[in-house]
Structure formats: C-alpha cells, structure tokens
Amino acid sequence: MSLDAHWFSEADKGLALSLRIRKKLHEEQTPFQKIEIYETDSFGNLMVIDGCVMLTGRDNFIYHEMMSHPVLYAHADPGNVLIIGGGDCGTLREVLRHPEVRQATQVDIDERVTRLSEAYFPELCESNHDPRARLLFDDGIKFVQEAKPGSIDVIIVDSTDPVGPAAGLFSTDFYRDCIKALGAGGLLVQQSESPLLHTESIIRPMHDSLRAAGFHDPVALHFPQCTYPSGWWTATMAGKDGPVTFRREKAAEQKPFETRYYNAAIQRAAGASPEFFRKALLG
C-alpha cells in the first residue's frame, strides 16, 4: 500500500513507522523544538517532537508504566522522585500512584509540551494537581547540577532522543551530577531507545558513561512499544550503591493500584537480555 498525505511517517535507519491520520490538531515551533499533534485513525491522539513519535493515546501506557513502576519497586523507600523531561505528565501520573512517594518533581525544559498535553492528552495530566506533584520548567541538566546532594531517591530520565536539548542527558558529567544528587541506595532509570537499532550507537555508550560516573551494573528493561522505531524499546536502570535488585517484590505483587502492562512477573522478565544484546554490552 502506498503512503500519502493521510499518513504520518517517522523513518529511522531504513525503517519507517506510519500512522494513518485524520487531521493535524496543532503545530508550533517552541524555542526548543517543533511540536505537532495529530488525531489518528486507530491510535488516538499522537504527539510528535522534531519529527519523532513521543506518544499515542493508545500505547503510551506501556512506556509510562515501565519508566516508573520497576524502578520504584526496586528502591527501598522512594519518597522523593525527580522526573527529568516527561512533560506529557504520563510518567508523573504513574509515579504518584505509589503511596510511598512523598514528592514528585517533574522538570521539563519546555512548558509547551505540558500545556499541549493538558489540552490533547488530559488523561495523562489527571495527577498534576496532586499536592505531592511539583511541575517545573527548566533545563534538567542544570536542575540536577544544583540539587541538594543526597536529596533524591529516584531519578527518572524521560527525555527525547539524545540530540538537541536532551544530548547532555546521556553524558558522564550529567550522570556524575545524578550520583551526587541521589541519596543512599538511590536509583536512576532512563529511556534508552531500541535494542535492535541503537545498541551500538546509544545503549552501549550510555552504559559506559553510567559506569564511568560511578553507577553499578546498568540493566536494560525490555518492552514492546509498537509506535517507536522497531517496536521494541528499553529503559535502563542503574544503582548508586550497588546493582539494582527487585527489593520490594512482595509489595509489587500486592500493588494497591491498577496497571495495564506492568506487574511483578513483567518486572522479573523485562531484565532478561537477548543473546546479541548481552554480548554487545560485554564489550
């Protein structure tokens, strides 16, 4: 079937993903990036930043649940959580489902992402007025540099791809600042692209940078994300004081909230590495 003006396409490494669209709902160039919003035929609304799919109404639950619940159940007491990026607020909503979280600060460089999410993805923003939520609009790199040492339990880096304003979020200097900002037993999780397309170009250098900064044994969680390039995505977790373990497995088995993708068995399985991936990360 040939594609025409009724399709949005994102091409990466010789592979294109297309979503059939009904209409363009919004387009703007902010000081940081170009944001587009579409209504699709079968995936709900679609947000695109600089030509890359950020999320669709239909499948974002997988990404947002995997960016939040595994790392929170791996930490002994995730009271203070920092989200870098995440301006659509979907990760924030999932983080605030955990009663142990006493404060969740979201720092996105671009306020327009949040305002457009409020308009076109209101379901993702339903916890923005939770008294534990703090929404700031600033550069996450600067925020972590200036954070009080030892003050944060979990850092979630829910950013765009490592180009433009997000490039520094994949650097050793940034990870060193994260180590400093994290308290004892602190954990970091970061969206880390596709194992099929980006193991050599992004995931392996990211693991090297995490280790160089002092993080222990980075581990990739694998999950399907059919609207991201290749349909297969990862979130990489790493610990400040030792390897990441499933510390609160029992609590995860009895989680006091509904999820659509995440459960304790998914967390156990998601850390298993396919052979090519395991070997590539051995060096």
Q: Does 125 bind ligand SAM (CB under 6 A)?
A: no
**Residue 12 annotated as catalytic:** no
Are 153 and 79 a contacting pair, CB within 8 Å?
Answer: yes
Among 48, 107, 124, 154, binds ligand SAM (CB under 6 A): 107
CA 127 remoteness from chain centre: 17
Among 48, 74, 96, 113, binds ligand SAM (CB under 6 A): 113
Spatial CB neighbours of 143, under 8 Å, sequence gap ≥ 6? 82, 84, 107, 136
Q: Could you give the CA distance from residue 1 to residue 99 in angstroms, rounded to a whole number? A: 49
Tokens 């890359």, residue located: 52
Among 88, 94, 153, 177, binds ligand SAM (CB under 6 A): 88
Among 19, 37, 104, 109, binds ligand SAM (CB under 6 A): 109
Q: Does 165 bind ligand SAM (CB under 6 A)?
A: yes
Of residues 51 and 243, the one with the C-beta less far from ligand SAM: 51
Among 74, 83, 154, 169, binds ligand SAM (CB under 6 A): 169
Spatial CB neighbours of 109, under 8 Å, sequence gap ≥ 6? 32, 85, 137, 138, 139, 140, 165
Are 159 and 84 a contacting pair, CB within 8 Å?
Answer: yes
Of residues 84 and 197, the one with the C-beta less far from ligand SAM: 84
Q: Does 158 bind ligand SAM (CB under 6 A)?
A: yes
Closest CA to 70 of 87, 41, 94: 94
- Please state the closest distance from residue 217 (CB atom) to ligand SAM, in A: 23
Which stretches of the chain bind ligand SAM, using CB under 6 A? 32, 54-55, 63, 84-88, 107-110, 113, 139-141, 158-160, 165-166, 169, 191
Residues serving a catalytic function are 158
